[in-house]
């Protein structure tokens, strides 16, 4: 018998109360019970996104929220700026290009964060830029980008700032209104502790003004129609009712824990993981790192895929390897959502065994000891 543990950066383990909610009989989505539930979900989403603005909700994976944002803010021929530092930054560009736009790119070395000054320079050089597309946690590299500083720069221009926060929603602080971010895109299967299938788009007044003018083609992802429906506690099309029921539970858990405690928990788990990686003599890949996951460079002579495979087959733990140009070079340990101290201890213990299995010289217990040292500190 082998117990399985999911420690990959999405989907993440599901909150037990959310699993139970999905087992309940389905609700009619035009009936009073669902409308009351959606009303509470709307409030919970505003709390989570730290905004007074409406948070739109779509039945799709997170990428649907990204595509919806592109087609609802821009028009043919519009100028856009895409910060590209990994798979998900690239995705913003791919969506823009799919709709015939030719965005300008800021290319950042994978594993590093964008320098906000380069965003300021790009906006100064091309004042016609209408939208800046950024990523909070770049999941493919494990980097956390300086969104607050970028928001301060974009806020002084007519452009809006759109942030893919799919990996970091409910994990790393992103106070939308306080920082002045215009669109925040989220997804259900990362920090929110529920299965894949829901995307969220929170939209500021400055962004709504652009939505009113936008002329790119759209049908399913129509922000104006969706806002109108939500104001009546409805969705335009049949929503994934069971997922919304699960979301209701996860938002209640977020509120009960409180945002400050939620972010502090993730920060602790991330610090413990990084300390252990260093204690084992391995190299961290991302600078600065996100609290959602830890990207680790595979040690010399070992293919990252072998680590991922041995973790799964010999020790029952699912982690992720690298994507695209990082395939074989890094592996990624996730510690977000329904994750606590025991998960990090377990993960590092299995990593030590895996490295030993693969013949890499480490002292068993050194990573776990570093984890314990961080976790036993107050705060
Ligand atoms: C997971 C993720 C996405 C969206 O992926 P989907 O598979 O469409 O849900 C987008 N951006 C980031 C940063 C992610 O981590």
Q: DSSP 3-state assignment of 84?
A: strand
Quick one: DSSP state of residue 289? B
Q: Whose CA is nearest to atom 5 of ligand 1?
A: 62
Ligand 1: nearest atom to the Cα of 190: 1
Q: Establish how many alpha carbons lie within 13 A of residue 367's alpha carbon, considering only the half-sphere containing its beta carbon.
A: 26
Q: According to the model, what pLDDT value does residue 378 have?
A: 79
Greatest CA separation for the chain = 62
CA of 90 to the centre of ligand 1 (A): 12
- Confidence (pLDDT) at 313: 97
- Across the 379 residues of the chain, what is the mean pLDDT of every consecutive 10-residue run? 94 98 97 98 98 98 98 98 98 98 98 98 98 98 98 98 98 98 98 98 98 98 98 98 98 98 98 98 98 97 97 98 97 98 98 97 97 92
pLDDT at residue 1, as a whole number = 82
Which own/partner pairs from 226-232 qualify as long-range (CB within 8 Å, at least 24 positions apart)?
Answer: 226/56, 226/57, 226/58, 227/54, 227/56, 227/203, 230/38, 230/42, 230/54, 230/56, 230/57, 231/54, 232/35
At residue 94, the pLDDT reads 98
Instruction: Compute, in angstroms, the gap from residue 213 CA to the centroid of ligand 1.
Output: 27
The phi, psi pair for 183, rounded to 5°, reads: -135, 130
Give me the pLDDT at residue 2, please: 84
Q: Is 40 labelled as part of a ligand binding site? A: no
The arrangement of secondary structure in 258-375, i.e. its CATH architecture, is Alpha-Beta Complex (3.90)
In words, the CATH class of domain 16-257 is: alpha beta
Cβ atoms 137, 171 nearer than 8 A: yes
- 31: CA distance to ligand 1 center in Å? 32
* Nearest atom in ligand 1 to 189's CA: 9
Q: Which residues line ligand 1 (CB under 6 A)?
A: 10, 61-63, 88, 135, 137, 139, 164, 166-167, 187, 196
Which H helix or E strand runs over 82? strand 79-84
> Ligand 1: which atom is nearest the Cα of residue 136?
13
Domain ranges for the chain: 16-257, 258-375
Q: How far apart are CA 111 and CA 218, in angstroms?
A: 34
């Amino acid at each position: 018998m082998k117990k399985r543990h999911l420690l990959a950066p999405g989907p993440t383990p599901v909150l037990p109360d959310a699993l139970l909610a999905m087992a309940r009989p389905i609700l009619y989505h035009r009936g009073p019970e669902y409308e009351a539930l959606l009303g509470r979900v709307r409030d919970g989403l505003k709390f989570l996104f730290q905004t007074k603005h409406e948070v739109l909700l779509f039945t799709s994976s997170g990428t649907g929220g990204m595509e919806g944002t592109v087609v609802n803010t821009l028009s043919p021929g519009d100028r856009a700026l895409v910060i590209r530092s990994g798979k998900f930054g690239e995705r913003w560009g791919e969506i823009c290009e799919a709709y015939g736009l030719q965005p300008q790119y800021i290319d950042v070395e994978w594993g590093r964060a964008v320098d906000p000054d380069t965003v300021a320079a790009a906006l100064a050089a091309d004042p016609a830029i209408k939208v800046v597309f950024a990523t909070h946690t770049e999941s493919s590299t494990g980097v956390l980008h300086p969104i607050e500083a970028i928001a301060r720069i974009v806020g002084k221009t007519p452009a809006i700032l759109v942030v893919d926060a799919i990996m970091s929603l409910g994990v790393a602080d992103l106070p939308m209104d306080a920082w002045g971010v215009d669109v925040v895109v989220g997804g259900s299967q990362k920090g929110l502790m529920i299965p894949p299938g829901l995307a969220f788009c929170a939209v500021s007044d400055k962004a709504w003004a652009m939505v009113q003018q936008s002329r790119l083609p759209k049908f399913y992802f129509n922000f104006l129609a969706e806002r109108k429906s939500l104001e009546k506690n409805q969705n335009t099309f049949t929503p994934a009712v069971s997922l919304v029921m699960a979301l209701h539970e996860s938002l209640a858990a977020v509120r009960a824990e409180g945002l400050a405690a939620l972010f502090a928990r993730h920060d602790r788990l991330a610090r413990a993981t990084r300390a252990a990686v260093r204690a084992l003599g391995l190299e961290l890949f991302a600078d600065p790192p996100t609290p959602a996951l830890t990207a680790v460079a595979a040690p010399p002579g070992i293919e990252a895929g072998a680590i991922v495979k041995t973790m799964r087959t010999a020790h029952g733990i699912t982690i992720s390897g690298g994507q695209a140009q990082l395939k074989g070079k890094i592996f990624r340990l996730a510690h977000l959502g329904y994750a606590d101290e025991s998960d990090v201890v377990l993960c590092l213990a299995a990593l030590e065994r895996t490295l030993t299995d693969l013949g890499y010289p480490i002292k068993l217990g050194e990573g776990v000891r570093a984890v314990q040292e961080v976790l036993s500190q107050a705060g």
